[in-house]
Amino acid sequence: MQGSGNSDERFQVVTISFKPEVMIAENDTVAIVGEFTNWMPAIMERHERERVLLEPELVNTFFYSTKLFRGFKYRYYFSVGDQFTVDTTKETSQDRFGRMTNSVDVPLKNEKEAEEGEHDLEATLDELAAEDDFATVSSSSQNANVMTFMRYPSYIDKEMKNVLPKDIQ
């Protein structure tokens, strides 16, 4: 992973799905809030109507896909209306503030990458910080296995304003 490798190998596309216990109206939104969104709500998508007709278990299921750096655990929770919740069908734990979260582990590809990962972490963080997609990248001081990707939105779109608390807008 030193300089000449394919940088996309450092990432894995992860899709997180969530099926709220209550039915969500067609025009309402569900957001995911996590380390990979800088703890800002990101609107989750619904499955296309044609797919739901073929797979009825996808009714009221939301999903969010993102590219995450390998070798770390990422915490998240969901915003449904004005309530924050976790997916009770998946493993949960408390964060350092006592808030319940879900998490997703993104493993390294193999043992060699695990050995190299410690040596290349700082260089990788510097590279990521220089890329357009990331404003700041930092390791969490509380847990070395958790990485925080901080993205600062330059604007808040109309859909997001419906989800955000008034004091953030």
Alpha-carbon distance 88 to 74, whole Å?
A: 17
Enclosing H/E stretch for 105: strand 100-106
SS3 20: coil
Task: Quote the pLDDT of residue 125.
Answer: 56
Please name the fold of domain 7-153.
Immunoglobulin-like (2.60.40)
Inter-CA distances, 53 with 26, 33, 45, 63, 114, Å: 15, 29, 16, 17, 42
pLDDT in tens, 83-127: 999 999 999 999 888 999 999 999 987 555 556 555 455 555 566
Please state the length of the chain.
169
- Name the residue ranges covered by the structural domains of the chain: 7-153
Task: Quote the pLDDT of residue 8.
Answer: 76
